[in-house]
């Protein structure tokens, strides 16, 4: 019998009553791994009311106790890293090394959450007026919501509920319906680490479930990671109701190659950064801006891309896995076709890619275009496949103008041996995460994930350091320690 993905309601993994189900497929074979339910409206309501009830107690659990939960959880996740990586490699398709990295980047967030007592510290100023002090405290919000995409089935859920709960909130998690299996295991381990029942609830589904959750009056803040259209919908729906939202959205990341860069370093970086994880990374390099004569380097990159191929997750010779779905594959292939029709030069064409023994996989091979212009769809659209577009400009000025005109601002990088070029690029580029001789500059969680422009909607960033600001309110308290009102001037006089 097909495995049914459970909901997590009030600490129990339960079968949904819903009639609506979707198959969770292995994208390399189309075999059915499980069925995921689209939770009923009643199940969504029960999850929210359970999270609200759990909040009443959880918010009062001493902060060091919450930190100890995270310490135990970190330990368990490390012990189960390989097992979780194998689960997500099956339903996401990414290769084992990437899958291990996916879990590891999540573990680092849990490690950050272990510092929660320091992260929650407020501030104090004594004697703001005569015998009057002001201090600030941080307090949790209540029931929060996390909505996650398919491309990092462990890391992105782990961006959310560990910090949300360490801050004293409860959370409803709505993982991607395409890859729900790793989240189930992550939450089993959270309970095994000692998480009280109800502080994280898991609901499955799509738009209807997300809408019901966002619109629920008891859900006060939403963290979303996914595509631009859905991010806009989530941001507009939640902020329209004066609730907090932080929405991490799509991207089109440019890498600038200066003539003074080291060619081998550039080539080595580019192969993994462009087609690694089949290009299904919000920080993948999808545009290369070759400055001056470096455009000739595209020939060598084309050769290198021709020499690698996709494959199943446990094939050690495969450079990356399949696309997540047949729909994703046909979308990527039609964008490749549009590039050719619109006049780009397709130097490596990944369509009609075959992998021995896996005729039904969603395979697209490495694809490289040169002679790309900014009006082409392959330049404008987030392709989310192993497809890279090369442009040629004359100078760093032109490269900066190109990158700064992009509506996206998630990541960018420059390869150069000039300190002046590097310093100028990091100062003038309007992108939130900048790599200098680093292709994919994702910060560790003691910084924050800092997408700009169309890649991030909201005014506080979720992951890492600033997540604590998102998941808490700050309260300032002004307190008099006068033994009698006659002892000194009142505060309004003192502040004049």
Among 455, 464, 467, 468, binds ligand NAD (CB under 6 A): 455
Report if residue 451 touches ligand NAD, rule: CB under 6 A: yes
Q: DSSP letters along 399-441, please?
A: HHHHHHHSSEESEEEEE-S-HHHHHHHHHH---SEEEES-SS-
* Binding flags for ligand NAD, 381-420, as an x/- string (CB under 6 A): -x-x-------------------------x----------
Structure tokens given for 395: 């100078």
Asked if residue 282 lies in contact with residue 250, where contact means CB atoms within 8 angstroms, the answer is yes
Asked if 390 is an active-site residue, the reply is no
Stretch that binds ligand NAD, among 86-94, 111-119, 150-158, 356-364 (CB under 6 A): 150-158
Binding mask 338-377 for ligand NAD (x = CB under 6 A): ----------------------------------------
| DSSP per position, 300-367 | HHHHHHHT--B--TT-TT-SB---S-HHHHHHHHHHHHHHHHTT-EEEE--TT---TT-TTS-----E
Element (H, E) at 174: strand 170-174
- The bridge status of strand 124-129 relative to strand 132-140 is antiparallel
Using CB under 6 A as the binding rule, whether residue 148 contacts ligand NAD is answered as yes
Residue among 71, 72, 104 at smallest CA distance from 85? 104
**CB 36, min distance to ligand NAD, A:** 10
Under rule CB under 6 A, residue 251 binds ligand NAD:
yes
91 binds ligand NAD (CB under 6 A): no
CA distances (Å), origin 129, targets 123, 134, 476: 16, 9, 15
Q: How far is the CB of 380 from ligand NAD (least distance, A)?
A: 14
Angle made by CA atoms 450, 249, 38, in degrees to the nearest 5:
130
Residue 149 or 168 with smaller CB distance to ligand NAD: 149
Please state, as a whole number, how many other Cβ atoms lie within 10 Å of the Cβ of residue 88.
26
Residue 52 or 232: which CB sits closer to ligand NAD? 232
How far apart are the C-alpha atoms of 153 and 65, rounded to whole Å?
27
149 in contact with ligand NAD (CB under 6 A): yes
The region of 8-16, 146-154, 369-377, 425-433 touching ligand NAD under the rule CB under 6 A is: 146-154
Least distance (Å) between residue 159 CB and ligand NAD: 9
Binding mask 97-136 for ligand NAD (x = CB under 6 A): ----------------------------------------
Which residue has 């002892």 as its token pair? 487
Smaller CB separation from ligand NAD, 248 or 297: 248
DSSP 233: H
Burial group, residue 453, by CB count within 10 angstroms (0-12, 13-18, 19+): middle
Q: If binding is defined by CB under 6 A, does position 84 make contact with ligand NAD? A: no
Tokens 């998941």 belong to 471
Of 114, 167, 282, 346, catalytic: 282
Task: Classify residue 125 by its DSSP letter.
Answer: E
> Tokens 């930190």 label which residue?
67
Which residue, 18 or 455, is less far from ligand NAD as judged by CB? 455
Q: Helix or strand or coil: residue 52?
A: helix
Assess 172 for contact with ligand NAD (CB under 6 A): no
Closest to ligand NAD by CB, 366 or 385: 385
CA 160 to chain centre: 9
Which of residues 35 and 398 has its CB atom nearest to ligand NAD in the complex? 35
Q: In 3D, which of 102, 51, 111, 101 has the Cα closest to residue 76?
A: 111
Segment interacting with ligand NAD (CB under 6 A) among 79-87, 147-155, 193-201, 269-277: 147-155
Which lies closer to ligand NAD via its Cβ, residue 421 or residue 448?
Answer: 448
Give whichever of 141 and 147 is closer to ligand NAD, judged by the CB atom. Answer: 147
Instruction: Assess 177 for contact with ligand NAD (CB under 6 A).
Output: yes
> Stretches 173-181, 184-192, 296-304, 333-341: which one binds ligand NAD (CB under 6 A)?
173-181
Residues carrying an active site annotation: 282
Binding site for ligand NAD (CB under 6 A): 147-152, 174, 176-177, 206-207, 210, 225-227, 230, 233, 248-251, 282, 382, 384, 410, 449, 451, 455
């Amino acid at each position: 019998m097909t495995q049914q993905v459970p909901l997590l309601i009030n600490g129990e993994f339960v079968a949904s009553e819903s009639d609506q189900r979707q198959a969770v497929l292995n994208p390399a074979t189309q075999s059915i791994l499980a069925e995921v339910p689209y939770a009923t409206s009643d199940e969504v309501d029960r999850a929210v009311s359970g999270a609200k009830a759990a909040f009443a107690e959880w918010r009062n659990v001493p902060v060091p106790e919450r930190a100890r939960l995270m310490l135990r959880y970190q330990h368990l996740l490390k012990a189960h890293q390989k097992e979780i990586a194998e689960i997500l490699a099956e339903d996401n398709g990414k290769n084992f090394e990437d899958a291990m990295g996916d879990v590891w980047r999540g573990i680092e967030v849990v490690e950050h959450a272990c510092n929660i007592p320091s992260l929650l510290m407020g501030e104090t100023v004594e004697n703001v007026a005569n015998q009057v002090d002001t201090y600030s405290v941080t307090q949790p919000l209540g029931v929060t919501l996390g909505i996650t995409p398919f491309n990092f089935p462990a890391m992105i859920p782990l961006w959310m509920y560990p910090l949300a709960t360490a801050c004293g909130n409860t959370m409803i998690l709505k993982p991607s319906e395409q890859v729900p299996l790793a989240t189930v295991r992550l939450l089993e381990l959270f309970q095994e680490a000692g998480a009280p029942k109800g502080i994280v609830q898991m609901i499955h589904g799509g738009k209807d479930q997300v809408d019901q959750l966002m619109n629920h009056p008891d859900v006060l803040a939403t963290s979303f990671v996914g595509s631009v259209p859905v991010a806009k919908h989530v941001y507009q729906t939640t902020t329209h109701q004066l609730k907090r939202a932080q929405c991490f959205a799509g991207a089109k990341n440019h890498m600038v190659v200066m003539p003074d860069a080291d060619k081998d370093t550039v080539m080595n970086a580019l192969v993994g950064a462009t087609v690694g994880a089949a290009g299904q990374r919000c920080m993948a390099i999808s545009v290369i801006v070759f400055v001056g004569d470096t455009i000739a380097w595209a020939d060598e990159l084309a050769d290198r891309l021709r020499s690698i191929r996709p494959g199943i997750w446990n094939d050690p010779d495969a450079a990356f896995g399949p696309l997540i779905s047949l729909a994703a594959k046909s979308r990527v292939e039609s964008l490749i076709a549009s590039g050719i029709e619109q006049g780009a030069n397709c130097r490596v064409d990944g369509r009609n890619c075959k992998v021995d023994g896996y005729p039904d996989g969603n395979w697209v091979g490495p694809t490289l275009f040169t002679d790309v212009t900014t009006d082409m769809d392959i330049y404008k659209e987030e392709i989310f496949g192993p497809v890279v577009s090369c442009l040629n400009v004359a100078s760093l000025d032109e490269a900066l103008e190109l990158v700064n005109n992009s509506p996206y601002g998630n990541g960018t990088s420059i390869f150069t041996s000039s300190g002046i070029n590097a310093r100028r690029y990091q100062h003038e580029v309007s992108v939130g995460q900048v790599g200098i001789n680093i292709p994919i500059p994702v910060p560790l969680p003691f910084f924050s994930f800092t997408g700009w422009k169309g890649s991030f909607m909201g005014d506080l960033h979720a992951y890492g350091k600033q997540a604590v600001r998102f998941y808490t309110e700050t309260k300032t308290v002004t307190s008099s320690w006068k033994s009698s009102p006659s002892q000194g001037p009142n505060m309004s006089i003192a502040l004049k």
